[in-house]
Amino acid sequence: MRGMKIGTSLLLAALALSWSGVAAAAADVNALGTWDMVAETPNGPMPSVVTLKKVEGKFKAEVELGGMKREVSEESLEGDVFKMKVTYDAVLYTCQVKIAADAMTGTWEGGGNSGALKATRRH
């Protein structure tokens, strides 16, 4: 019985360490800053500037596309995945990217189309 308690304790300790490692890795993702983003569209590449901030404990994004700021909603960061919705020409687009150091890669979709997204952090 004692051996079983030690084995269970070791298993629980290992699980706790692995979960804390996952939480630490997620906490290490730095999404904040200004990003130069390009969406691949049926009409060719569409550049934009995305600025990510933390306001009152929540992630907020500002998107400048075609020389104008666009309406952004439903921003979230879960681990290394950032999601947001952007309104452009009265169409709501969903964007999802994975952040790795100073790069983002992901996808967008809306208005019956979809494509790739790539971004690099400005320094």
Give the model's confidence band at 2: pLDDT under 50 very low, under 70 low, under 90 confident, else very high.
very low
Measured CA to CA, the distance from residue 123 to residue 114 in angstroms comes to 29
Query: How many angstroms from the chain centroid is the CA of residue 82?
Result: 1
**Residues with Cβ within 8 Å of residue 87, at least 6 apart in sequence:** 70, 71, 72, 73, 93
Q: Do 2 and 60 belong to one domain? A: no
> CB of 101 within 8 A of CB of 114?
no
> What tens digit of pLDDT does each residue of 74-118 get?
999 999 999 999 999 999 999 999 999 999 999 999 999 999 999
Res. 1: pLDDT tops 60: no
69 and 9 co-located in one domain: no
Residue 122 has what pLDDT?
95
The closest alpha carbon to 72, from 102, 95, 54, belongs to 95
What is the reported pLDDT for 27? 52
Best CA proximity match to 122, nearest among 52, 72, 58: 52
Q: Which domain holds residue 83?
A: 31-121
pTM: 0.76
CATH number at residue 74: 2.40.128.120
pLDDT over 90 for what percent of the chain? 72
pLDDT of residue 57: 87
